[in-house]
Amino acid sequence: MSSILSSLKSPAELRAMSLDSLKELAGEIRARIIEVVGRNGGHLASNLGVVELTIALHYVFDFLHDRLLWDVGHQAYVHKLLTGRNERFDQLRKAGGPSGFPSIEESPYDLFNVGHAGTAIATAVGMARGLSRQQSDARVVALVGDASIVNGVAFEGLNQAGLLRRQLLVILNDNSMGIAPTQGGFAEYLAKFRVSPMYEDIKRKSQRVLSQVPLIGKAAVDALAHLKEGIKSAVSPHQIFEQLGFIYIGPTDGHDLEHLIELLRLVRDTQHPVLLHVHTEKGRGADFAVAEPCKFHSPSPFKVEGCRVEIQSGGRSFTAAFADALIDVARNDPRVLALTAAMPDGTGLNKFQTVFPDRYLDGGIAESGTVDMAAGMCKTGLRPVCAIYSTFLQRAFDQVFQEVALQGLPVIFCMDRAGLVGSDGPVHHGFLDVAYLRGMPRMVLLAPADEPEIGAALRLALKLDVPSAIRYPRDKVPEPILAPGESAVPEFILGRSRLLRDGDDATILAYGALCRNALDAAELLGADGFEVRVVNARFAKPIDPDMVIAALQGGRPVVTVEDHSLAGGFGSAVLETAQELGLPTTRLVRLGLPVDRFIPHGSRAGQLAECGLDAAGIADAVRRGLSREDSPSESSRIPLRTAAARPMSGVRTA
């Protein structure tokens, strides 16, 4: 029973609590998180690591007035528990329940719905500048991780922050882990000081300073400078941050609640950018999470029984299938290597790494740099495969354009988490990749429908002399699909679709994993006496023109299906091709994600159903098409639909 936590009505109440009560609260919070994540899944170890830090922050600051920005969005569970979402926390990541990331829709304590990392400092600088311009003394705090601070956008933020002559606190939460062990020279630099002997020094010295120094103004700045000078002789990581313009404090123990509160009070009103370097232990408070923090970063629902932990597996994923397929092609082609941007487990490349350790590269939370490295390696004749989630590849969009597409370099992008992602919600849906890649000349876009097609897609991509991008969802692979007459899955041929099921009443053109739903829809329609053709498009670029002609020239209903936005995606590509070929399109309907709203977090199955992309939804769309009158002149007299006449939902004009 969580007595302190459940009776906490506002973070302001923390200030009336004793240190012992705060520590008890920390224990309750840990238990609550372990319990709920154990049922619902979510991000475990990183949240356990910031319990004391989050409590201390809410103790010292009033974040209804002050501003708290999360760089690592999935670390905000403790924050949510303290700010009114404890009661609903059992519904974490479930439809209608709290999101797994900060959510402006839920609470005024949440300012930006973020999940991509690296952006909090620059955003905080913007807020600080905006507040200054409006003569507000509200304090701004950005909580950043050691792995995300090496992201390029974070560096741009640091570069700007150093110019401020105002309060701005950047807390560097250093657990040396990020998602996987932190990468790069900067990480090595930070790592040197994790076991710094001056750890205890800072505690003593800051206490001495605290007792002597007023908390605002020049004196505080000077006192802090003094503190810094005093520890300069020891090996200290302050240089880079100081040279960028920060006052640097630390490193300090991020689990020492009392000390954290002291330090935060010390720096709270300093009118100068301050970087507070804090060491925490990822997974603190749950032995299994500490022992294997990578595995428990974002566990599917698991059970904890004493020391025994059981992860409930969910069948064979596209991720696992991709991992094996890549290992397979790499065996046959020594030029192949694999790159990730800090996501070896999520992309399945952890397995590749064990088989081909010297053909694996982790660029860290730096998608742009990773893509450019891949381009450079490709230029030397190698065949790099970049495994980056669809939504994270957005960070490298211009590098895909300039270093890859513009040069025509045959880098292969494998985008996991394409489409609706379930409980991670809008900040992670990969719903734009077809639209943002399609306009790049010499870019081939493919999507496998099942496990055998992943390997086939990779094999084709390797034959190309241009870049390509392969997409697949966070989901289980279906049973391998074979069309009547096929003894094996045919190889991919550039720009050629694949007929899965024939029929004359209507056609479903499906792109990617939703082929399975399309086939299921055809079964449902078959039971109603309709014979529906199902085509696996295989390519969103180039579109197979024969596929489009065959579908449309008979005047029968056609439905396109994609796990992607309806703006500029696969269905739009089909439509464009139809228009270019002069084919009628009045029988064409496109299914996909809406263009005017974000699909909230929940189960992926629920989200697909919401968008009409489940078998029932697809079948319904076909039925509607079949029931419509088959007369072009009639359709042109269709009155203006009210929905279309309204401007975008959710947009108001002042």
Residue choice 143, 373, 414, 591 for contact with its own copies (CB under 8 A) = 373
Determine whether 395 is an active site residue. yes
Query: Minimum distance between the CB of residue 291 and its own copies, rounded to whole angstroms?
Result: 27
Q: How far apart are CA 166 and CA 182, in angstroms?
A: 31
The contact pattern for its own copies, residues 600-629, with x = CB under 8 A and - = no contact, is: ------------------------------
Residue in the structure block whose two tokens are 């570069």: 159
Residue in the structure block whose two tokens are 């004359």: 504
Which residues neighbour 360 within 8 Å (Cβ) at sequence distance 6 or greater?
337, 338, 339, 340, 344, 349, 352, 353
| Under rule CB under 8 A, residue 72 binds its own copies | no
Report 167-226 residues binding its own copies (CB under 8 A). Answer: 183-189
> CB neighbours (10 Å) of residue 426?
19
Report 522-551 residues binding its own copies (CB under 8 A). Answer: 541-542, 545-546, 549
Plot region of 329 (φ>0 → left; ψ -120 to 50 → alpha; else → beta): alpha
Tally the residues of the chain.
654
Report 25-64 residues binding its own copies (CB under 8 A). Answer: none
Residue choice 234, 311, 595, 605 for contact with its own copies (CB under 8 A) = 595
Report 247-286 residues binding its own copies (CB under 8 A). Answer: none
CA distances from 2 to 12, 16, 35, 45, 76 (A): 18, 18, 12, 20, 19
Which of 130/217 has CB closer to its own copies? 130
Determine whether 367 is an active site residue. yes
Angle between helix axes 615-627 and 515-527 (nearest 10 degrees) is: 50
> CB neighbours (10 Å) of residue 377?
18
Residue choice 18, 134, 135, 627 for contact with its own copies (CB under 8 A) = 134
From 35-43, 219-227, 303-311, 567-575, give the range in contact with its own copies by CB under 8 A: 567-575
Which of 362/520 has CB closer to its own copies? 362
Which of 288/356 has CB closer to its own copies? 356
Query: Minimum distance between the CB of residue 261 and its own copies, rounded to whole angstroms?
Result: 27
| Under rule CB under 8 A, residue 357 binds its own copies | no
DSSP track, 152-208: HHHHHHHHHHTT--S-EEEEEEE-S-SSSS--SHHHHHHHTTTT-TTHHHHHHHHHH
Q: How far apart are CA 394 and CA 407, in angstroms?
A: 19
| Under rule CB under 8 A, residue 398 binds its own copies | yes
Report 442-461 residues binding its own copies (CB under 8 A). Answer: 442, 444, 460
Which of 113/423 has CB closer to its own copies? 113
Q: Which of these is catalytic: 93, 166, 268, 282?
A: 282
Measured in degrees and rounded to the nearest 5, phi and psi for residue 649 equal -65, 145
Residue choice 197, 357, 485, 582 for contact with its own copies (CB under 8 A) = 582
Query: Minimum distance between the CB of residue 228 and its own copies, rounded to whole angstroms?
Result: 15
| Under rule CB under 8 A, residue 436 binds its own copies | yes
Which residues neighbour 449 within 8 Å (Cβ) at sequence distance 6 or greater?
478, 481, 500, 510, 512, 513, 515, 516, 536, 538
Report 412-431 residues binding its own copies (CB under 8 A). Answer: 426-427, 431
**Residues classed as catalytic:** 282, 367, 395
